[in-house]
Structure 1
Amino acid sequence: MRRSFYQWLMTQRQPVSANEVETFANAAFFDQQFPKQSDNFEQISLYLEENASYLHSMTIFDQAWSLYLASEK
């Protein structure tokens, strides 16, 4: 069974952010409404577009999603 996007994203957290995906992961950690069990691109994308003021560009999510998919092969 594939792990959720959130579970993968939490592996990207860094105490001192070095890149945008790590900054995204650090911020998502504090988002209590994040769809933590989802591995559905559309559901997570919609949530982020409507609720994640901490994500400055959806391009960062797209980059993180690509890394997530590559890690699950």
Structure 2
Amino acid sequence: MRSQSFYQYLMTLRNPHAHDEISQFANNAFFDQAFPKQARTYEEVSEYLELNAGYLPSMTIFDEVWQQYQQ
């Protein structure tokens, strides 16, 4: 298991000046007060995003970042 949560990894991808989908996802998650910051499982994060993250235009963006997180 990774030593950092998915949220901690996602925050390494933040870039307020970038306009790519992954940077935008990270930037928006930063401002999401309810984001499950300690979550380490795919199911927990994906369920939250599907129900609560209107800022994420496609779950494929999450899937791509999750694959990077797992490596």
Give % identity. 56
Residue 51 of structure 2: aligned partner: 50
Question: What does the per-residue CA deviation read over 1:2-37, in whole Å, with 9 as the maximum and x for residues that have no partner?
Answer: 200000000000021242111100000000000000
Question: What does the per-residue CA deviation read over 1:17-68, in whole Å, with 9 as the maximum and x for residues that have no partner?
Answer: 2421111000000000000001110010000000000000000000010111
Residue 36 of structure 1: aligned partner: 37
1:27 counterpart letter in structure 2: N
Partner of 1:6: helix, strand, or coil? helix
TM-score with structure 2 length normalisation? 0.93
- 4+ runs deviating over 3 angstroms: none
Written as runs of structure 1 = structure 2, the 5 A alignment for 1:1-73 is 2-70=3-71
**Aligned CA-pair RMSD:** 1.0
TM-score with structure 1 length normalisation? 0.91
> How many residues are paired up?
70
5+ residue gaps, structure 2, are none
5+ residue gaps, structure 1, are none
